[in-house]
Amino acid sequence: MHALMERLYPICRSLTGNGVRQTLAILREYLPALRVHEVPSGTPALDWTVPAEWNIRDAWVKNAAGERVIDFRQHNLHILQYSTPVHGWFSRQELEDHLFSLPEQPHLIPYRTSYYQPNWGFCLSHQQRQQLQDEYYEVCIDSTLDEHGTLTYGELVLAGTSEEEVLLSCHCCHPSLANDNLSGLVVATFLARELARTPRRYTYRFVFVPGTIGSIVWLSRHQDTVGLIRHGLVLTLLGGAGHFTYKQSRRATAEVDRAMALVLRDAQVPHALRPWLPYGYDERQYCSPGFNLPVGCFSRTPFGEFAEYHTSADNLDFVAPEQLAESLSVLEALCLTLESNRTYRNLQPYGEPQLGRRGLYKGVGGGQEGADWQLALLWVLNLSDGQHSLLAIAEQAALPVPLLHRAAVALEGVGLLHAS
């Protein structure tokens, strides 16, 4: 995953443009079935309109000696995203209105955008900004805004035995920021590869979309089918330091909310569960009241809560391979939990059935050997009344869903349970 991130990191991505296409082309090497969609600029999408396509070839500020004192080629964060084209000489004071830096983090380049308000500008370290002492500077931004362009997004569907879907969404619009959100892209890619190799009950839909406008466009094109989504996650910030954080869906008690809480509990890793908030990433769109889909947001340290957020310090060194692997492991466990969850009915509910003669109970009583297994069998038998799912049993019994699922399969195999 980290090696894939290294390939993607230098690319200048934005809401639209060739950077997104290049990124999705690389992901297709890992996911050949990934479909790339192009939506024309000017297309209505719910209350929004697809913007003009933005591309940039070069950008710089030169001093009187002709030296590049700000250079897009050195770091693509140097450009204000969606900057309009410009070329000319500007006084130091005129240039000042188009510069963005962080006085409190003087060695870092900030990430700034102006997607929907025409503007141009440069981002630079505050230390670099203070060194600009010439009276005049030559400025060039070689960019284009094409009203006849398109917005690009990727979509991968892994069909299951059911048409019911699990939606996994991540944004593909950020330039050279490793944790936000290359980590989401690479973890989603490798999760899709794992799921493609295993039998699936659910159909899994992965969408790689530019933030906000991308999910709005996707929803506008799938209004007739989003009712098939039973569970969903927005994946972001999965490679940095810090504990896991799960933000609940708008429903708060959706199955995915409960399943993620159990998975994090049973993984015995530091984590936090946070309530729904109509601010954040694309879960805002999926959980907007008209759709109200069961989509939460899974991350490590949330956005804005680590010093490297939206700066040049969010680089490849900030993301550790071990942290990516741990994030992937939790997501694999979540998918297994969702796949395993069933509601059963006890076919012999009057008294406790004799498990020993069915080969499910230990032959010698009195000890604690296999206590969790015996408890799992008894919990599943007792609560399999057609009303309690395995998730509900796991919540009450404080036992992991995979263990309860194994118990349910064993009990079903000897004719004591039936999946309702």
Of residues 43, 13, 41, the one with CA closest to residue 27: 13
Pull the structure tokens for residue 184. Answer: 């989401």
- E strand or H helix at 404: helix 401-413
| Cβ partners under 8 Å of residue 410, min gap 6 | 360, 377
- Of 283, 240, 288, 231, give the one whose Cα is nearest residue 260: 231
Ordered alpha helix ranges (H), 12-152:
18-30, 92-96, 126-130
Tell me whether strands 229-235 and 165-171 are parallel, antiparallel or unpaired. Answer: parallel
Q: E strand or H helix at 259, and its extent?
A: helix 255-267
CA 342 – CA 391 distance, rounded (Å): 8
Binding residues, as ranges, are 174, 180, 310
Which phi and psi (to 5°) does residue 345 adopt? -125, 130
| Amino acid letter for position 182 | L
3-state SS class at 349: coil
- Token representation of residue 321: 């391979």
Instruction: Give backbone dihedrals phi and psi of 123, rounded to 5 degrees, phi first.
Output: -105, 140
DSSP conformation class of 182: I
Task: Please give the Cα distance from 290 to 234 (Å, whole number).
Answer: 18
d(CA 212, CA 114): 14
CA distances from 181 to 172, 185, 210, 244, 339 (A): 7, 7, 11, 16, 27
d(CA 59, CA 109): 15
C-alpha distances in Å from residue 94, one per residue of 90, 112, 180: 6, 19, 32
* Binding site as annotated, residues for Zn(2+): 174, 180, 310
- SS3 state at 300: coil
Give me the half-sphere count of Cα atoms (radius 13 Å) on the Cβ side of residue 53: 18
